[in-house]
Amino acid sequence: MVKQVRIVDAVLCDRDGTLVEDVPYNGDPARVVPRPGVRTGLDRLRAAGLRVGVISNQSGVARGLLTADEVEAVNGRMGDLLGPFDAVLWCPHGPEDGCGCRKPAPGMVTGAARALGVSPVRCVVIGDIGSDVQAAARAGAAAVLVPTGVTRPEEVAAAPLVAADFGAAVDMVLRAHRPLAGSDIDGGRP
């Protein structure tokens, strides 16, 4: 059996490095640049009736490198360029804060699922690093890793599903959303 994501109702995407180019601690909306193929992929997900959300660590707020207003401005520009999102959650904490929302903790995945009115087990997280995959697993969601130049080889090796690019990740999700046969779905689980 070819491993696929299970049937889904919502897709939760990491922001930096997945949806838009990763500009560390970006507080400037003018520096928001969509990654190749992302707008088309998101439009395909929306056209299929899937809810689409964003989950993003923003430790620059805790570090004093940007403000919450700047994060919101960047998120607004991302929405202008990539279309509307049904939920946008971001964590302002630093790695040492021990919060339950910062990926790899599951808080943003479960919070986004709750905001979208779906179960985390009916969500897929698309991200570019291991903490995205780990947050999904801890919440009971599926995950697709889309490696970039910052993705470590061990993160790729540990990921249950890896896609060459965002469009390929969307293909995996849409195959699960409209299954042709029960055996095409991850273990046939709902």
pTM: 0.90
For 28-69, the pLDDT digits (tens) are 999 999 999 999 999 999 999 999 999 999 999 999 999 999
Active site residues: 14, 16
Q: Hey, what domains does the chain have and what are their CATH numbers?
A: 10-184 (3.40.50.1000)
What is the SS3 string spanning the chain? CCCCCCCCCEEEEECECCCECCCCCCCCHHHCCECCCHHHHHHHHHHCCCEEEEEEECCCCCCCCCCHHHHHHHHHHHHHHHCCCCEEEEECCCHHHCCCCCCCCCHHHHHHHHHHCCCHHHEEEEECCHHHHHHHHHHCCEEEECCCCCCCHHHHHHCCCECCCHHHHHHHHHHHHCCCCHHHCHHHCC
**Residue segments in the chain with a per-residue pLDDT below the cut of 70:** 1-6, 178-190
